[in-house]
């Protein structure tokens, strides 16, 4: 499930180009060509680490003579003050890559840390914490990798991966008074046997009609914990049950306790706070290099 190195290079390369399209004019003017930097990535608060490979790519794609040593692995917890990585190389390159490298690793570690908090709240239940498609455009693969680092799981990656019929889709399917079960059976008949079918409901009385179509997962959207308990009893193992809507750190334990299989949490990626990590840099001169 690790993110493909080619994809990392493409995403990080685009970010580096955005940040320094014609080079870093400040460092080129102020920093001697023979200056060498030793930089330490240090945690300023506790959390769960994610984005090590992305941090390395930001440095080495800027200058392939920069060496990065990671002190913690993705998925590891750390305390404030922990040394996370060490960077050694030409100072101009380290300074040019610094912001992009930090932006990625701070955001990914923030996602991993928040995910771990949700997972901790559901420990002892059957419920999986999963992400959604509410990701930063272009960064989905990295953000979902961070969710996994925090102990969570991934929902469908894109619209191409599975059928998920939500309220608007069902309104079209049943236009003109068409029976919901019949409409969904027609959908199932046109699907490949390998394609997952999930259907969202927002009322208890929709459950039986959806289950009669042989769906794989039924999403109970914005159900109260009491309604979820009732829904779990009605489904009775005939499909996976996903709970969605109204999920936060204050409500997730009660939702997990109802017996649902999956809890989708858009907040893992759409409103996460980046973790506070710092890059402390010491500069020196290499007399073997031209000034």
Cα–Cα distance for residue pair 158/20, rounded to 1 Å: 31
- With 0-12 / 13-18 / 19 or more C-beta atoms within 10 angstroms meaning exposed / middle / buried, residue 287 is exposed
Q: Locate the DSSP E strands across the chain.
A: 35-43, 47-48, 67-70, 77-78, 83-90, 128-130, 163-165, 197-201, 217-221, 240-244, 262-264, 277-285
Mark whether 221 is an active-site residue: yes
**258 Cβ contact partners less than 8 Å away, ≥ 6 residues apart:** 225, 228, 229, 232, 243
Closest CA to 61 of 41, 89, 31, 25: 89
Mark whether 134 is an active-site residue: yes
Among residues 19, 63, 221, 286, the one annotated as catalytic is 221
Cα–Cα distance for residue pair 283/37, rounded to 1 Å: 5
Mark whether 226 is an active-site residue: no
Among residues 166, 202, 238, 286, the one annotated as catalytic is 166
Among residues 40, 117, 133, 134, the one annotated as catalytic is 134
Let me know: does 244 contact 222? Beta carbons within 8 Å: yes
Annotate 156-205 with DSSP letters as a single string.
-SSTTS-EEE-HHHHHHHTGGG--HHHHHHHHHHHS-TTS-EEEEESSGG
Among residues 40, 99, 188, 238, the one annotated as catalytic is 99
Angle at 236 between CA 220 and CA 119, to 5 degrees: 55
Mark whether 99 is an active-site residue: yes
- For 166, 209, 229, 278, the CA distances from 47, given in Å and listed in that order, are 35, 44, 33, 14
Among residues 121, 200, 242, 261, the one annotated as catalytic is 200
Catalytic residues: 99, 134, 166, 200, 221
């Amino acid at each position: 499930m690790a993110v493909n190195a080619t994809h990392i290079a493409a995403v990080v390369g685009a970010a580096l180009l955005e940040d320094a399209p014609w080079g870093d004019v400040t460092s080129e003017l102020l920093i001697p060509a023979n200056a060498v930097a030793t930089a330490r990535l240090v945690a300023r608060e506790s959390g769960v680490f994610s984005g090590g490979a992305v941090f390395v790519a930001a440095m080495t794609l800027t200058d392939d003579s920069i060496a990065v040593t990671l002190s913690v692995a993705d998925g590891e917890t750390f305390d404030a003050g922990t040394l996370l990585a060490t960077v050694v190389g030409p100072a101009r390159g380290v300074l040019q890559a610094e912001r992009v490298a930090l932006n990625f690793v701070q955001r990914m570690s923030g996602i991993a840390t928040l995910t771990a908090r949700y997972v901790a709240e559901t420990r002892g239940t059957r419920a999986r914490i999963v992400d959604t498609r509410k990701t930063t455009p272009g960064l989905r693969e990295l953000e979902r990798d961070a969710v996994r680092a925090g102990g969570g799981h991934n929902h469908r990656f894109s619209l191409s991966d599975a059928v998920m019929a939500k309220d608007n889709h069902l309104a079209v399917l049943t236009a003109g008074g068409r029976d919901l079960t019949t409409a969904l059976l027609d959908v199932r008949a046109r699907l490949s046997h390998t394609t997952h079918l999930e259907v969202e409901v927002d009322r208890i009385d929709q459950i039986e009609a959806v289950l009669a179509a042989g769906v794989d997962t039924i999403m109970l959207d914005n159900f109260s914990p009491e309604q979820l308990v009732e829904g779990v009893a009605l489904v009775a193992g005939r499909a996976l049950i996903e709970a969605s809507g109204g999920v936060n750190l204050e409500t997730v334990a009660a939702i997990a306790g109802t017996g649902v299989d999956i809890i989708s949490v858009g907040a893992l990626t759409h409103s996460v706070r980046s973790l506070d990590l710092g890059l402390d840099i010491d500069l020196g001169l290499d007399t073997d290099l031209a000034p």
